[in-house]
């Protein structure tokens, strides 16, 4: 269980720190000198933090942010082996780290049992932008920027960006951003529908949103994530069937019965997330 105050559970040296505030877990990418670029260790530490949040029944929402002036600058290229010599192509291949680290991180966030909010406090570049987009809601600081930096080093968007961007921006904008690698400022990202909001204190705003969602029917919120995401691959008639089936499953939850009874009794519902 978590206590009512902020409870740091990692040392300052950890690449991801964890703090519980009531029903919200705040996860902070903690490599500020490297703009929180991802190493394999940081992926592993993020997975542990997500596992910790998921295992704690008191936690009903997660916020992910970055330490220092950046959110996440993508992959730490110092972990790639570019030393001249035999098998350079094989050693520098980004495929294995994508398969073993970045893709599992995106899948883990999308499968989490509670809503996830990104507090994008600074630059989100490459897979750092993908990380923000993998969250259910993204709130950015005014100075934050989203950069599809892949084309500048001869690569393509990964960690989910090639899927998330066209869905949120449309093909024309997504393709131009991916090809040029131009930075998309936070205000424009909001105007274009890439993120939810811009706030001077994006962490406070994200925590406020997380507390709001944590007080709502958690199972229904996560089912909504899956329904909307997976609906992109269904026909209308298939989606109608999916809505029926998921609605029926939600109809067996405590929170559905509580919500209806509260509505009938004209009182505030007391959702438990179950």
Helix or strand run (H / E) with residue 263: helix 254-264
pLDDT at 61 over 60: yes
Q: What is the pLDDT of residue 8?
A: 44
C-alpha to C-alpha distance for 254 and 156, rounded to whole angstroms = 44
The arrangement of strands across the sheet holding 61-66 comes to 7-8, 16-21, 24-29, 61-66, 116-120, 137-140, 197-198
Q: What is the pLDDT of residue 13?
A: 75
pLDDT tens digits, 140-151: 999 999 999 999
- What's CA 177's distance to the chain center, in Å? 20
pLDDT average, residue stretch 262-274: 91
Q: Is 24 exposed, middle or buried (0-12, 13-18, 19+ CB in 10 A)?
A: buried
C-alpha to C-alpha distance for 62 and 52, rounded to whole angstroms = 11
User: Which two structure tokens, joined as six digits, stand for 213?
Assistant: 């969602």
Q: What is the mean pLDDT of the chain?
A: 93
Where does the pLDDT of residue 85 fall: very low under 50, low under 70, confident under 90, or very high at 90 and above? Answer: confident
pLDDT at 86 over 60: yes
% of the chain at pLDDT higher than 90: 84
pLDDT average, residue stretch 111-118: 97
| Alpha-carbon distance values, 109 to 51, 162, 229 (Å) | 10, 17, 13
Q: What is the pLDDT of residue 10?
A: 59
Q: Nearest 5°: CA angle at 152, between 148 and 157?
A: 40
Q: What is the pLDDT of residue 5?
A: 42
| Alpha-carbon distance values, 43 to 30, 47, 68, 224 (Å) | 11, 6, 18, 26
pLDDT tens digits, 1-60: 334 344 445 566 789 999 999 999 999 999 999 999 999 999 999 999 999 999 999 999
pLDDT at 93 over 90: no
DSSP of 63-111, one letter per residue? EEEESTTEEE-SB-GGGS---SSTTHHHHT-SHHHIIIIIHHHHHHHHH
Q: What is the pLDDT of residue 12?
A: 63
pLDDT at 160 over 70: yes
% of the chain at pLDDT higher than 70: 96
């Amino acid at each position: 269980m978590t206590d009512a105050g902020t409870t740091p559970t990692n040392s300052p040296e950890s690449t991801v720190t964890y703090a519980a505030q009531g029903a919200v877990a705040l996860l902070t990418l903690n490599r500020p000198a490297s703009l929180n670029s991802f190493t394999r260790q940081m992926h592993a530490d993020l997975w542990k933090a997500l596992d910790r949040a998921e295992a704690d029944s008191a936690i009903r929402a997660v916020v992910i942010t970055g330490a220092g002036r950046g959110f996440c600058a993508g992959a730490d290229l110092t972990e790639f082996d570019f030393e001249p010599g035999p098998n350079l192509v094989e050693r520098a291949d980004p495929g294995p780290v994508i398969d073993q680290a970045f893709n599992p991180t995106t899948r883990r966030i999308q499968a989490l049992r509670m809503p996830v909010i990104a507090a994008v406090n600074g630059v989100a570049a490459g897979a750092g932008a993908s990380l923000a987009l993998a969250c259910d809601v993204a709130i950015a600081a005014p100075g934050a920027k989203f950069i599809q930096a892949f084309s500048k080093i001869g690569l393509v968007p990964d960690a989910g960006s090639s899927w998330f961007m066209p869905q949120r921006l449309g093909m024309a904008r997504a393709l131009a951003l991916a090809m040029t690698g131009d930075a998309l400022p936070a205000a424009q990202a909001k105007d274009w529908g890439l993120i939810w909001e811009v706030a001077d204190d994006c962490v406070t705003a994200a925590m406020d949103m997380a507390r709001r969602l944590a007080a709502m029917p958690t199972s229904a919120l996560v089912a909504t994530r899956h329904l909307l995401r997976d609906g992109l691959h269904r026909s209308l008639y298939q989606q109608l069937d999916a809505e029926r089936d998921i609605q029926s499953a939600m109809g067996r939850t405590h929170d559905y019965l509580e919500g209806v009874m509260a509505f009938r009794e004209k009182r505030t519902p007391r959702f438990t997330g179950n």
